[in-house]
Amino acid sequence: MRYVLITGAGDGVGKATAKLLKNEKLLLVDRDENNLKNVAKSLHAEYFICDVSNIENLDKLKSYVETNFSKLDTIINCAGVWTKGELSQLSEAHFAEINKLSKIKDLLDTNTFGTIAVITSLSPTLLKNSKGQIINVNSQSGVETEEFCPVYNASKHGSYYYRKAIQRDLAQHNIKITDVCPGLIKTNFYIRNNDELSEDIMKLGLTAEEVAKTIKYVFDMPHEITIPSIEVRHIKNY
């Protein structure tokens, strides 16, 4: 049995991943208390309410892991926030609303800082245990330049290149790390930022369960085999 911490576990890909890994020892993390409690209860899993963009929350999570989940060997980062809109569109009410500076800061704090901070906070436990795995749910926006979502693009490129920069160091300590980079996903991800996409667009998306299966594929690899990054998308989503 492996000891797995999953962020963003209250909904979407994080929830779907937790369901696939229900036979492991799970610690589920999310900032949405109601969703998180329901998922944890249904899977008989431990949970910890934490906003990965909040340093105080992260310090408490680190202390909880060290005391109650010290056999941690796997971190799966699924927490994420969305926005889109080019600079020339910000005069339009919809794009102005979803690109308020407060929302941009929350996005960068969650997608980039949050991923880096979780790894920074919890990697000492993996290092102490002399073995581990980290899986980050990144995005096609982390490997391509998608001009319609520059802020989201920047956030995902940031975490992608952070992973590349720490990969060799971690490998030397028997810890492997992978970016799973999906295209469009059919979840509440867009609705949560008041940017519901049309049916014509959403039908080209992957389900949360399909992305979770990709995560489990990486998770199930023999430890000596590492996949630096893996892309997955609907065949018609090009």
Edge to edge, the sheet with strand 132-137 lists: 46-49, 25-30, 3-7, 74-77, 132-137, 175-182, 229-232
pLDDT at 193: 84
Identify whether the C-beta of residue 75 lies closer than 8 Å to the C-beta of residue 9.
no
Name 105's Cβ contacts closer than 8 Å, sequence gap at least 6: none
What would the pLDDT profile of 34-69 be if each residue is shown by its tens digit?
999 999 999 999 999 999 999 999 999 999 999 999
Specify the pLDDT at position 198.
87
Q: Please give the pLDDT value at position 63.
A: 98
Residues facing residue 3 across a β-bridge: 25
Report the number of distinct structural domains present in the chain: 1
Report residues of the chain scoring pLDDT below 50.
Answer: none
Distance CA(238)–CA(236), nearest Å, equals 6
Q: Tell me the per-residue pLDDT of 13-41, one tens digit each, with 9 for 90 and over.
A: 999 999 999 999 999 999 999 999 999 99
Distances from the Cα of 16 to the Cα of 6, 70, 92, 145, 203, angstroms: 11, 24, 35, 28, 19
- The pLDDT of residue 20 is 98
CATH number for the domain that contains residue 206: 3.40.50.720
pTM assigned to the model: 0.96
* Strand residues in 170-214 grouped as ranges (E): 175-182, 185-186, 206-207
Give the structural domain span for 81.
3-232
Question: Residue 237 has what pLDDT?
Answer: 84
* 237 in any annotated domain: no
- 238 is a domain residue: no
Using a 10 angstrom Cβ sphere, with 0-12 exposed, 13-18 middle and 19 or more buried, the burial of residue 83 is: buried
- Could you tell me if residue 22 is inside a domain? yes
Q: Give the pLDDT score at 238.
A: 78
Closest CA to 72 of 118, 137, 9: 118
